[in-house]
Chain A
């Protein structure tokens, strides 16, 4: 396991959880955890989160602690309650989603917690590829329902394009 940065949860009315950390090079990272409105009537509404992370500055160079910190935030969310699951979508606002997706896969494979599985689905949106991943613990009480819902929804979105 790589060393990680100390991250803090910050007050936010906009997101379910908001985390922030600063790197040795003074880069500021924000990780957002949000509920998914389309699940509001399901019993796993408070357990399936939309996750994203963003850097305030333009990041150049390599810093292994950033990935370790991002995956640590995810691991802690899932370890806190194994019924929690994360849907991660790569930020595509700067058209660097391919690099971001490749990096995320490397980070996850290196730092993932025991029992956490990843499912990947890609769709095309706004003329760019949207890379998404579902991260879920094998002991999740709704494991098959959540995995099936994720796969079905993304398959539907692909077929609708």
Chain B
């Protein structure tokens, strides 16, 4: 059943659509780099993490 769903997804969303979103992700990364340098995330409170440490 899972495989059928994946095949359907790949048919309905074209590689071109996915490419547009990869480009958006690339732009977001550039903005994140600027935000980090400006200290945007420096004061956010920590939380319990299920990923340890």
Give the interface of A toward B (CB within 8 A): 4, 6-12, 17-20, 28, 30, 32, 34, 36-38, 41-43, 50, 52, 54-56, 72-73, 76-77, 80, 89, 91-94, 125-126, 130, 142, 145, 149, 152-153, 156-157, 160
Contact B33 A93 (CB under 8 A): yes
Docked complex: B8-53 residues within 8 A CB-CB of A: 9-10, 12-13, 15-19, 21-26, 28-30, 32-34, 36-37, 39, 41-42, 44-53
Give the interface of B toward A (CB within 8 A): 2-3, 5-6, 9-10, 12-13, 15-19, 21-26, 28-30, 32-34, 36-37, 39, 41-42, 44-53
Q: How many A-B residue pairs have CB under 8 A?
A: 111
Q: How far is the CA of A93 from the CA of B28 in the complex (A)?
A: 11
* Chain B residue at minimal CB-CB distance from A22: B42
* Chain A residue at minimal CB-CB distance from B18: A38
CB contact under 8 A between A10 and B9, given known A38-B17, A50-B25, A56-B36:
no
Residues of B within 8 A of A160 (CB): 16, 19
Task: List 19 other contacts, CB 8 Å, given A36-B25, A38-B17, A42-B9.
Answer: A10-B46, A11-B45, A20-B41, A20-B44, A37-B21, A37-B24, A38-B18, A41-B12, A73-B51, A77-B51, A91-B29, A92-B30, A130-B26, A142-B6, A149-B10, A153-B15, A156-B15, A156-B19, A157-B19
Contact sample, A vs B, 20 pairs, CB 8 Å cutoff: A9-B48, A10-B41, A20-B41, A34-B25, A36-B21, A38-B18, A41-B12, A41-B13, A52-B29, A52-B32, A72-B53, A76-B52, A89-B26, A91-B29, A93-B34, A125-B26, A145-B3, A153-B19, A156-B15, A157-B19
